[in-house]
């Protein structure tokens, strides 16, 4: 006789958040600058979303386009400490996965240090691709919090 023990762990996310691989994400259609987006996510116990791989990136694109396909959304990536050296909100350097739009990042006017998604309908640019933007400009944003197991 073979005995197999199977354990299921229910992962729960805060209200309005969606789970992907143990992290919870929510797109907010509120226009705020990058710093205020960080503060808003902290109030929920998290940070701006960090799409470090294709699966997470595609999941976040789906979330943001469901909320507002006609808006750009902040994500948790920036080069505010050192121009051209992008890092995630947790201080980890940007890795190999980086779906920038063509000609991005470009630090236009020397003022673009925070990263956003281009909008879905922005076909003249790369729809849903990454773009560096002025951190003071108001855009919607995506938060990430840890799931409760």
The pTM for the full model equals 0.89
For the chain, the distance separating the N- and C-terminal CA atoms, rounded to the nearest angstrom, is: 32
CATH number at residue 137: 3.10.100.10
What are the Cα distances from residue 116, in Å, to 1, 78, 83?
56, 9, 16
Instruction: Note whether residue 116 is domain-resident.
Output: yes
Instruction: Note whether residue 12 is domain-resident.
Output: no
Residue numbers of the domain that contains 142: 18-146
pLDDT, residue 102, reads 85
- 126 versus 51: the higher-pLDDT residue is 51
What's the CA gap between 97 and 63, in Å, rounded? 20
Instruction: Note whether residue 8 is domain-resident.
Output: no
Neighbours of 122 (CB within 10 A): 18
Express each pLDDT in 71-116 by its tens digit: 999 999 999 999 999 999 999 999 999 999 888 999 999 999 999 9
Q: Which residues lie closer than 8 Å to 123 by C-beta, 6 or more apart?
A: none
Instruction: Note whether residue 50 is domain-resident.
Output: yes
Express each pLDDT in 139-149 by its tens digit: 999 999 999 85
Domain count, the chain: 1
């Amino acid at each position: 006789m073979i005995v197999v023990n199977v354990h299921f762990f229910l992962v729960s996310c805060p209200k309005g958040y969606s789970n992907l691989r143990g992290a919870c994400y929510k797109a907010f259609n509120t226009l705020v600058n990058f710093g205020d987006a960080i503060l808003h996510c902290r109030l929920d116990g998290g940070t701006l979303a960090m799409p470090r791989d294709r699966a997470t990136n595609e999941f976040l694109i789906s979330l943001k386009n469901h909320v507002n396909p006609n808006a750009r959304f902040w994500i948790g990536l920036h080069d505010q400490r050192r121009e051209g050296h992008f890092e995630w909100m947790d201080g980890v350097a940007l890795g190999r996965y980086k779906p920038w739009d063509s000609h991005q990042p470009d630090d236009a006017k020397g003022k673009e240090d925070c990263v956003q998604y281009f909008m879905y309908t922005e076909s003249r640019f790369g729809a849903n691709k990454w773009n560096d933007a002025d951190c003071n400009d108001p855009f919607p944003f995506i938060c990430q919090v840890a799931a409760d197991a």
